[in-house]
Amino acid sequence: MTRALLAGAADHLREGGVAQVIGEFPTIGESGFEEQVEGWLGDAPCDRLLLHFGAMDPLEYAVAYAHQPFGQRQDQYEAALGARLSQFRALGVRDVVLGAVLLRRSQRNAGPRWAARRVLAAAERPIGRALVELMGQLDRWESEEALLRLWDGRPRMRPGLRLTETRVWGPNHWGEEAAHVSVPGDPFCRDLQLSGPARDLLALCDGTRRGSEIAAEFARAYQLAEAEAVETAVAFIKELAAQGLVGAEAEEAGVAPPRSDGPGTGGAG
């Protein structure tokens, strides 16, 4: 039912129209929640945002739904529990994700402009306004002017951004284990894990350097050729911006970063 609902949603949306499906999504086989939903959506002409609030294993989920608050006999509870577990085994259910899928019909009929995923705690307050702001943010960083803003502008970390690094003492030195960032008060910027290069680029986004200067420093630090450094740096900074960690405004008209096929969409993780 959920697959049919999501796969057919685009046919019932005007351009710019939004559908939100909130619920419990059993994940079946090896695919995770996000991959399963993307498979259902295929090339539907919708921007899509997948929100992951948490997950329950089959037994935990079955116990919650087999239990009735009043007047239930033990044998009734056990029958309901066994029936649900048998059904999950037959379907190959690995877990049940608590989440939401937001679809917005693309302005053009050529397919989605962006697809985003966010992991966040179950909302304790309305997040409708934050969702609208997030979609606007994703639109900005997929626009034709985005690369120019990053290259000519001065990328700057958001005020209040918190970076937490974990290191483990080895035989003779500290080994880096993980780097996590968050922005207090932003439900979509919560405990994001960064790779080493993404963390180093984020640290350079202090508002004192243009994107072109950041790419040059990145090239020196990682001993990369100019073209490779530009492509990698701009892709990482663009992903940091799309994640809501960095902002940048072009200060003046200029030229786009030199590239052959354009920077790919790098992942911050």
Residue 72: per-residue pLDDT: 87
Domain coordinates of the chain in residue numbers? 2-122, 146-247
Across 106-155, the runs of DSSP E, i.e. the strands, are 115-119
Q: Confidence class of residue 228 from pLDDT cuts 50, 70 and 90?
A: confident
pLDDT tens for 124-163 read 788 889 999 999 899 888 887 888 888 889 999 999 999 9
Residue 125: per-residue pLDDT: 83
Higher pLDDT, 149 or 88: 88
Residue 111: per-residue pLDDT: 60
Residue 255: per-residue pLDDT: 53
pLDDT tens for 8-48 read 998 999 998 999 999 899 998 888 899 999 999 988 899 99
Report the relative pairing of strands 46-56 and 115-119 from DSSP bridges: parallel
Cβ proximity of 58 and 85 under 8 Å:
yes
CA atoms within 13 A on the CB side of 215: 27
Q: Confidence class of residue 264 from pLDDT cuts 50, 70 and 90?
A: very low
Assign domain 146-247 to a CATH class: alpha beta
Structure tokens at 136: 């606007």
Cβ proximity of 97 and 25 under 8 Å:
yes
Cβ proximity of 181 and 163 under 8 Å:
yes
User: CB within 8 A of 11, min separation 6: which ones?
Assistant: none
Across the chain, the runs of DSSP E, i.e. the strands, are 18-28, 46-56, 93-105, 115-119, 156-157, 162-169, 174-182, 192-194, 246-247
* 252 pLDDT more than 50: no
